[in-house]
Amino acid sequence: MPSKVKVEVKAKVRLLFMMLITSWNEESDLTVHASRFTPHVSYAAEPVERHLANIRQLTFGRQNAEAYFSFDGAKLIFQSTNDWITGAGEGPVPSRSAGKTGLGCYQMYVMDLDSGTIRLISTGAGTTTCGYFFPGDRRVLYSSTHLVGPNCPPKPKKEGRYRWALDDYDIFSVKLDGQQVQRLTATPGYDAEATISPDGK
């Protein structure tokens, strides 16, 4: 096909696409007909979103953030201000013992996606961030301020733009049962947001 014809075809396809996109609105039928432009073509938009059809909420209440799947896809590591406990016959529920605002700062948890079991894997002191599974899913990595002190670090002032506190974090490794905590960094400042090489070393 000569290049001039290719350019004209591309321009017509773009124009057709733009006309289809701009002719549809939320109040219209979900079927968009292209017959005004080409007599033998009809397109139908699906009324159901395929990729987000099976959404399941995993956490409730307070702040739950920075969730990452294990390598086998069976577990999730996340940080939460909930004080998770196991309710009688109902699985993990947020504890109300920590007060109206929860724990005040993040702790690190691992959730088994099949059973819904949630286990605290950080120390419960200070605050945590940036949890991630090691290859093999037997240990996790996270950052914590617990060696600086047991309390939550002061929150940054809310003036204007979003601010992230750069507290004295160190990076730790721990087994999934919360045992065998290993300190990996020992430098002042913000040691966080670590990544793991594919071989886990």
Q: What angle do CA 143, 145, 147 make, to 5 degrees?
A: 115
- As a whole number, mean pLDDT of residues 56-82 equals 85
Percent of the chain at pLDDT above 90?
27
Residue 103 burial (CB count, 10 A): 20
Enumerate domains of the chain plus CATH numbers: 3-44 (no CATH), 64-183 (2.120.10.30)
Stated pTM of the model:
0.65
How far apart are the C-alpha atoms of 86 and 94, rounded to whole Å? 8
Q: Is 118 exposed, middle or buried (0-12, 13-18, 19+ CB in 10 A)?
A: buried
Residue 113 burial (CB count, 10 A): 14
Q: What is the pLDDT of residues 116-167, one digit of tens each?
A: 888 989 998 889 999 999 999 999 999 999 998 888 887 777 777 766 677 8
- As a whole number, mean pLDDT of residues 8-14 equals 50
Q: Is 134 exposed, middle or buried (0-12, 13-18, 19+ CB in 10 A)?
A: middle
Q: How confident is the model at residue 34 (pLDDT cuts 50, 70, 90)?
A: very low
Token couple for 201? 């070393």
